[in-house]
Amino acid sequence: MKKNIQVAIDGPASAGKSTVAKILAKKNGFIYCDTGAMYRALTLAAIENNTNMDSEKDLLTLLNQLVISFNQQVDGQHVFLNDRDVTLLIRDNNVTNSVSKVSAYKSIREEMVLRQQKIAESNSIVMDGRDIGTVVLPNASLKIFLVASVTERAERRFKENISKGIDTDFEALKKEISDRDHYDSTRKNSPLVQAEDAILVDTSGLNIEEVVLKIEKLMETAI
């Protein structure tokens, strides 16, 4: 039987993980799993249900009632919460501002990790997030830790927002990104850290094609 290939991409907010992961998955015929979207979907459900986000137990009860799934459509991958398409809703600022709090709970992470490992079980996959190389896929064929300066990451997200017609204050965006990085990197449960066997790819000054090319070269040798 052919061995499934796992590519793990971790890194801070807006480093380009999902953009690059999607391209790599498409080119190689692998599936793509955006684990951040799963934490975002739970956060959205918590906001909509008025769940107390200070209560790990209430959040876990809510998560146990949710089916979070992905569906490939012509315009890209869509995220579903039970049967509802929440692809756009999970990118809202109110979700972004609370997601790190929700994702810091141990039992929430354990349940998400189980679900993510199940998705990866029977397919070659590119998975991106914060703990993929360290916790979710510790035996991944290739682990990438994608970084860029906070200013560059904020500039990229700023441009993306402008192109979508979203009014954004640059300094506030930069602060949101660095606050979330800090929270994700200093939490007790599976903090954002580079796995020992991950390869650091600094994308500062590199465009998407250049980053993809770099990782493809690494895939050639690792896989």
> Under the rule (CB under 6 A), what is the footprint of ligand CDP?
11, 13-19, 35-37, 39-40, 99-100, 103, 129-131, 156-157, 160, 180, 184, 203, 206-208, 211
- Nearer Cβ to ligand CDP (111/184): 184
Cβ proximity of 144 and 201 under 8 Å: yes
Consult the annotation and say whether 12 binds a ligand: yes
118 is in an annotated binding site: no
Q: Which residue of the chain is nearest ligand CDP when measured via CB? A: 36
String of DSSP letters for 136-157: I-TT-SEEEEEE--HHHHHHHH
CB closer to ligand CDP, 2 vs 27:
27
The CA distance from 93 to 89, in Å, is 9
Nearer to ligand CDP by Cβ, of 37 and 120: the residue is 37
Has 55 been labeled as part of a binding site?
no
Helices (H), the chain: 17-28, 35-48, 56-64, 93-103, 106-121, 150-163, 170-186, 208-222
32 versus 39: smaller Cβ distance to ligand CDP: 39
13: helix, strand or coil: coil
Task: Compare residues 51 and 203 and give the one whose CB is closer to ligand CDP.
Answer: 203
Q: Least separation, in Å, of the C-beta of 2 and ligand CDP? A: 27
Is 87 one of the annotated binding-site residues? no
Burial of 98 (0-12, 13-18, 19+ CB in 10 A): middle
- Evaluate whether 6 touches 139 at the Cβ level (below 8 Å): yes
CB of 28 to ligand CDP, least distance (A): 17
Encoded amino acid at 49, one letter:
N
CB of 161 to ligand CDP, least distance (A): 9
Q: Which residues are annotated as a binding site for ATP?
A: 11-19
Q: Which residues are annotated as a binding site?
A: 11-19
